[in-house]
Copies of this chain bind each other. A is one copy, B any other.
Amino acid sequence: METLKVIKIGGNIIDDEAALDAFLSEFSKIKSPKLLVHGGGKLATQLSKQMNVEVKMVDGRRVTDQDTLDIITMVYAGKINKQIVAKLQSKQCNALGFTGADGNSIVSDKRPVKTIDYGFVGDVKHVNPAVLNLLLENGITPVFCAITHDEKGQLLNTNADTIASELAIGLASFYQTELYYCFEKNGVLQDINDDNSVIEHINTTAYEKLVEDGIISDGMLPKLNNCFHAIQKNVKKVCIGKPEMLFDASSKFTTITAD
């Protein structure tokens, strides 16, 4: 099976025009089939302020009321997604922008209200890989923003890390999928204050020990749970680190595999 790279970039790249441009130049040179997932960065919060829409966060997650959903749809699916698509086209990468509603590619359930009502937030139910596979087979690069839908006409704000892992899982029947999470650190660090203390390889056994020892905690826990979820569902490997991990053979980053 051919290899498909599913690559997720976050706000640290999106909010920095030069970094984004440099990343997209390298990304466009990747020869194997590829798929990009982008987060939202600071633009949605900026626009909310300009429009006097209150930004509500609970446990680091955005509460998405109707106004916030409109803003997110405008910023993620509109401005950011289309600017990335146009830039990739200028770099000879034939990109095509997606939300989960497009081609019915990612179906979510609106998160049930327990103690907190997150509003229009979606938990991914399933991926329909047919349209994506059709495009990938024809040299097209899908570019996803972090929005899905419920098949009943409702758009839903959805975690970009989850979208990336679910896409890698959903396409694993057509491709040997590799998942790359680009973020601001060099990977999982032995010492959180030393960016050179990268743990280069983590398997399931090592992971359990790292959690037990408190090396992996806080923000990294949900990220790594996402990674191992993908590994358990036939994704071949997951890499976490700075974007250089994709292009620079000498860079250090964390690779996660089943064993």
Contact = CB atoms under 8 A, between A and B. Distances in A.
A173 interface: no
A155 B83 contact: yes
A87 interface: yes
Interface stretch (A100-108, A109-117, A204-212): A100-108
B89 A155 contact: no
Contact of A90 (B73, B85, B89, B153): B153
A188 interface: no
A50 interface: yes
Contacts of A152: 90
B85 A74 contact: no
Interface string A130-147: 110011001010000001
Number of copies of this chain that the complex holds? 2
A7 interface: no
A154 interface: yes
Pick the most buried of A79, A131, A134: most chain B CB atoms within 10 A of its CB.
A79
A49 to B, nearest CB: 11
A151 interface: yes
A149 B101 contact: no
Given A89-B153, A131-B138, A134-B138, A82 B70 contact: no
Nearest to A137: B134
B140 A86 contact: no
A39 interface: no
A187 interface: no
A231 interface: no
A95 B134 CA distance: 15
Contact of A147 (B76, B82, B104, B151): B82
Contacts of A149: 86, 89
Interface in A71-103: 73-79, 81-83, 85-87, 89-90, 94-99, 101-103
- The 5 A-B residue pairs with the shortest CB-CB distance in the complex, in nearest-first order: A78-B78, A74-B74, A90-B153, A74-B78, A86-B101
